Chain A
């Protein structure tokens, strides 16, 4: 094999200095700007989680005051949802890969892309300001009238921060939609696109249609607080449940913004590390769009005990079951892809396998919640907390890490330490399950969520959970170290270290600023592993 060298000119050495980064129009550099941002906020949100789990190791509220605890879980949620989970895969991996995967030189609107990052950072600054000047204690869900009338915390700057960041999401989605419609290379038809792009497209639809409703809702909350209007305050004629409808109309689709991109990554990983096409390509593609559409119709399942009519509850229940079907179809398709594959055990594949298992569990527990009669007992308990962490952490974060490891050689030109990476994946898997599985049990027992102190019979399960959290935390720190280390000292990757198929692997690692030396003309289907490929055994 020829010695691998770095290409002389690539996007990372195309201009040095802070200005070349802060004023870049290159989607790849913008992806890295987002990577820095989301990683930073992930660790802030993670620090809050550590404090929460430390407090919950004992039944009494003895580590922090109740006011502080309420701020901890609120800000953990706000940071993780709005500043990590929603942007991470679309803005880091999506920004980097969308143009390359369709054979384009950049997104449709590069300056808008940079503006999106600045908007994200401005929103994050507002929210960070809220955190350091006293914090927010409304829960990430801002239920009224507590958030508009009763809370004495920094609701307004936090609400404004989320309002502003929403526009980053909207503009990113807009950019992706236009890019995929108008800038595909010759021969790149919709059904030759990698499934990551189908997921990104479906995600972009949700970002564009759902986020504006959150924007107006959170704006009304801020306005109500400042001017004492009465949109959601019953003493002024408003309806607090109306807030919940408006809020969840966005926030349910938002969870699909968080998980669809991860599903897209998994499709890529499974195809690449089994060296065969994803089983049932068009079914997986349509399932992504189906999830996006159905996802807009189920918001009321967050409100089964909030006082809606019985018939509304039943409609939302049946739709919630329907939205589970496309997700199940994807899981079956990924599993079938592994059948008679040529399966490599590289770290990205380990994350993919972890995702499939954990997302399955998380998704199945969703069926418990869609059954109205059962949801009445488990809603607002730790059962819910466990459910969404299985999807968000066991699902999305594992998808994110898998994707980060898979495309790391393309992004950086370097290989990371595979042994350390596999160990970390294992630590994360074990730590994750130990943290969150006991929460299903303690939730069904009746431990409510957002509780600072709890009855003593819940302690053992909480201690298990806190122990798991400490392991999980360690698991997340190790990749930071070896990934950063690889930037300087990692072996050079070459253009296709995995022996995978896809336009991104036909260009250099790192790619040139304009992505390709010449515009590709596509004459092959996605995941065309028919011809033998160079590669390795792992």
Chain B
């Protein structure tokens, strides 16, 4: 049996791990596995959407046309940019550049909030136009039922995505605090890295949502 090596433990090394390297590998694998579960989670919704879109193409096209492509495109650019700032934050963390990490985290959060703000505007428009499913829903009689189905899927899918964004911003706040107080160093930056993985994933979900909901076949018969 190996005797325990007697050396000063890095303050960030958790007791169950033998080395920071092992800890980083475990954390990274853990985040990848978690993101895999998220793929399955969103996947169920994407599948449901795909099936109904295939069955009711006319109604879905007409309903999709009511979404604001301009705002959606702006949001896409905002989110992709936030992934860039996130990647830059990770890079800065690898180099131990604390101030840069803080700035890039702030930029990411600001862009994330911008995304949520624009989304709220979109939701508000939908509310005003009576496109929120439920008792107040209004639409052309011919496509009424299936358009309501489209908007149900729209709100569920973008709503869950927005919830993941909110959680992501929360994670960024925690990362900001850890970086501020010096927990994140050149030797120990894997929390920033795996937070980045999560952020990129949420971005990628949007990259799929946007074309599927806003762009495909928005021009009806």
B170 within 8 A of A: no
Pick out which of these stretches binds chain B: A29-37, A214-222, A318-326, A427-435. Answer: A214-222
Distance in angstroms between the alpha carbons of A518 and B3 in the assembled complex: 6
Q: Do the beta carbons of B26 and A178 come within 8 Å of each other?
A: yes
Q: Which residues of A contact B141 (CB under 8 A)?
A: none
In the docked arrangement, what's the CA distance between A228 and B148, Å? 10
The reply on B133 being an interface residue by CB < 8 A is yes
> Which A164-210 residues have a C-beta within 8 angstroms of B?
170, 174-175, 177-179, 181-183, 186, 208-210
**B134 CB → nearest A CB, Å:** 5
Q: Which of B37-45, B122-130, B178-186, B196-204 forms contacts with chain A?
A: B37-45
Is A519 an interface residue, CB under 8 A from the partner? yes
Q: What is the bound-complex CA distance between A519 and B3, given in angstroms?
A: 7
> Is A109 a contact of B156 with CB atoms below 8 Å?
no
Q: Is B110 an interface residue (CB 8 A)?
A: no
Contact A230 B15 (CB under 8 A): no
CA A239 to CA B51, docked complex, whole Å: 10
Given A108-B26, A212-B38, residue A229 in contact with residue B15 (CB < 8 A): no
CB-CB under 8 A from B148, the residues of chain A are 229-230, 236-237
- CB closest chain-A residue, reference B56: A237
Are A231 and B146 in contact, with the CB atoms below 8 A?
no
Q: Is A212 a contact of B2 with CB atoms below 8 Å? A: no
**Complex: A114 Cα to B13 Cα, angstroms:** 19
Q: Is the CB of B149 within 8 A of A229?
A: yes
**Which residues of chain B come closer than 8 Å to A186, judged between CB atoms?**
2
Inter-chain contact B30/A178, CB cutoff 8 Å: yes
A231-B152 contact, Cβ under 8 Å, with A182-B26, A518-B3, A521-B1: yes
| A518 in complex: contacting residue of B1, B25, B41, B51, CB < 8 Å | B1
Tell me how far the C-beta of B36 lies from the nearest C-beta in chain A, rounded to whole angstroms. Answer: 7
Once A174-B33, A178-B29, A212-B40 are accepted as A-B contacts, the answer to whether A223 and B3 lie under 8 Å apart by CB is no
Tally chain A residues at the interface, Cβ within 8 Å.
46
Residues in B whose Cβ lies below 8 Å from that of A131: none
CB contacts under 8 Å to A, within B155-180, are: 156
B96 to chain A, nearest CB (A): 25
Is B34 in the interface zone, CB < 8 Å from A?
yes
Question: Taking the nearest CB of chain A, how far is it from the CB of B165, in angstroms?
Answer: 18
Interface membership of A445, Cβ < 8 A: no
By CB atoms of chain B within 10 A, which of A110, A237, A238, A519 has the most?
Answer: A237
A213 located at the interface, meaning its Cβ lies under 8 Å from any Cβ of chain B in the complex: yes
Inter-chain contact B134/A228, CB cutoff 8 Å? yes
Question: When the two chains form their complex, are residues B4 and A518 in contact, meaning their CB atoms are under 8 A apart?
Answer: yes
In the bound complex, what is the Cα–Cα distance between A217 and B3 (angstroms)?
50
Q: A110-B16, A208-B37, A215-B41 are in contact. Are A237 and B149 (CB under 8 A)?
A: yes
B-side interface residues toward A, CB under 8 Å?
1-4, 14-18, 22, 25-26, 29-30, 33-34, 36-38, 40-45, 47-48, 51-52, 56, 133-135, 145-146, 148-149, 152-153, 156
17 A-B pairs within 8 Å (CB atoms) are namely A106-B16, A108-B26, A174-B34, A174-B37, A175-B30, A177-B29, A183-B16, A209-B36, A211-B37, A213-B41, A227-B152, A229-B148, A230-B149, A231-B149, A237-B145, A238-B52, A514-B15
